[in-house]
Amino acid sequence: MGSETQPRFGDVAHLGHVELLTPTPNESLAFFTSVVGLHETARAGESVYLRAWGDYERHTLKLTAHRTSGLGHMGLRVRDDDTLHRLVAGLEAHGSRGNWIDDPAHGRAYSFQTPDGHAVELYWETQRFIATPDLATAFKNLPQRYVPRGIAPRRLDHLNILAREVPPTRQFFQARLGLRLTEQIVYDDGTETGAWLSATNKSYDVAITKDRSDARGRLHHFTYAMDSREDVLRAADVLRDAGIPIETGPHKHTIGQTFFLYCFEPGGNRFEIGSGGYLILDPDWKPVVWTEAERAKGQAWGLQTVSTFHTHGTPPIEST
């Protein structure tokens, strides 16, 4: 296997979609449409496909009825078709036992697992959202007009998975998929408890944090992005009046500089509304390493990380 199979930064273009499992599909759907304000674009089998007003693909959230909560799979769109085959060749050369599938929602894809057991689909073919006349916009560089319903985030932003051991899964995203490590938490005893990786100029697209349970393949949270921090504050009002408890925030993460709030969708999965962060332009970015002492200082302005943040993942441990 030649050097051509070595993934480079940019081979994975972006996080395309998240398939979320929910044991309460009706309630979850009502939450994501009425409260969050996502748009339904299709239904098939046990799944409903949703997207935010600024998402260019036909779906960024696939909501699937299931016995448990958790992550169905994450979809990562690649740079082009050649890159897809090159990445798959590398994955297989390094022992990945995935398989090609034809996902009716976006096309041909290669399905495999992270070392911790999260399902991933790599894909190039996709289906773009074409606005119907009532959603068309004078701003031709946007896929549709802004529709102020509920929180109305602009786009899917990132995904945070849990892993029993962070390093192997983190190295997998770096070595096999070309993502860039941007920030890390390394405790005094050398344990890596968190890693943030990016496929773009954003400060992160995929985060991996340590699962303190014995479970595998769990989800910590996924995130849709607002245009401004003021929008996140407004979202907090919407959640409050919708009777959705906010787990923590709004506040600013020290890591990634993103302004955040977390809540739980009715199916039990943690959901984040975020904004901001910083752009990484430096092609030679040195990962920022945070110590145990620094983490003990809490978030950016001193808010202590809530204990549920260290324990709650989906599916819950008892159902794994």
Considering only 58, 79, 118, 218, the residue that binds a second copy (CB under 8 A) is 79
Minimum CB separation from a second copy for residue 45, in Å? 27
159 or 215: CB nearest a second copy: 159
Q: Applying CB under 8 A, does 305 fall inside the site for a second copy?
A: no
List the one residue from 24, 41, 137, 193 that touches a second copy (CB under 8 A). 137
We find the least distance from the C-beta atom of residue 302 to a second copy, in angstroms, to be 5
Please give the residues from 198 up to 227 whose contact with a second copy meets the rule CB under 8 A: 200-203, 227
The Cα–Cα gap between 258 and 251 comes to: 9
CB 279 to a second copy: min, Å: 7
Q: Are 116 and 161 in contact (CB under 8 A)?
A: yes
- Nearest approach in angstroms of CB 313 to a second copy is 21
Segment interacting with a second copy (CB under 8 A) among 161-169, 215-223, 241-249, 309-317:
241-249
User: In the stretch 103-132, what mask flags binding to a second copy with x, by CB under 8 A?
Assistant: ------------------------------
Q: How is residue 95 annotated by DSSP?
A: T
Instruction: For residue 195, give the DSSP letter.
Output: E
Which of 85, 229, 295, 310 contacts a second copy by CB under 8 A?
229
Closest CA to 28 of 45, 15, 16, 46: 46
Q: Which of 118, 252, 270, 312 binds a second copy (CB under 8 A)?
A: 252
Query: Minimum Å distance from CB 96 to a second copy?
Result: 22
Could you give the angle at the alpha carbon of 309 between the alpha carbons of 265 and 61, nearest 5°?
Answer: 35
Rounded CA-CA distance 158/206 in Å is: 6
If one asks whether residue 240 binds a second copy (CB under 8 A), the answer comes out as yes
Q: What is the CA radius of gyration of the chain?
A: 19
> Of the listed pieces 8-16, 39-47, 97-105, 164-172, which binds a second copy according to CB under 8 A?
8-16
Q: CA 119: distance to chain centroid?
A: 13
DSSP single-letter state for residue 274? E
Distance from C-alpha of 33 to C-alpha of 70, rounded to nearest angstrom: 19
Instruction: Compare residues 97 and 140 and give the one whose CB is closer to a second copy.
Output: 140
Least spacing, CB of residue 238 vs a second copy, in Å = 7
Q: Which is nearer to a second copy, 217 or 274 (CB)?
A: 274
- Residue located via tokens 């809540």: 263
Interface with a second copy, residue 82, by CB under 8 A: no
Residues 6+ apart with CB under 8 A from 125: 81, 106, 107, 108, 109
| 167 sits in which H/E element | helix 166-175
Q: How is residue 133 annotated by DSSP?
A: G
Our CB check for a second copy shows the closer of 152 and 159 to be: 152
Q: Is 142 an interacting residue with respect to a second copy (CB under 8 A)?
A: yes
DSSP calls for 2-66:
-GGGS--TTSEEEEEEEEEEES-HHHHHHIIIIIS--EEEEEETTEEEEE-TT--BS-SEEEEE-
Which amino acid does the sequence have at 96? S
Q: Which residues bind a second copy (CB under 8 A)?
A: 8-10, 13-14, 37, 54, 56, 77-80, 137-142, 145-146, 148-152, 155, 182-183, 200-203, 227-231, 233-234, 236-241, 245-246, 249-252, 254-257, 259, 261, 276, 278-279, 281-284, 288, 290, 294, 300-302
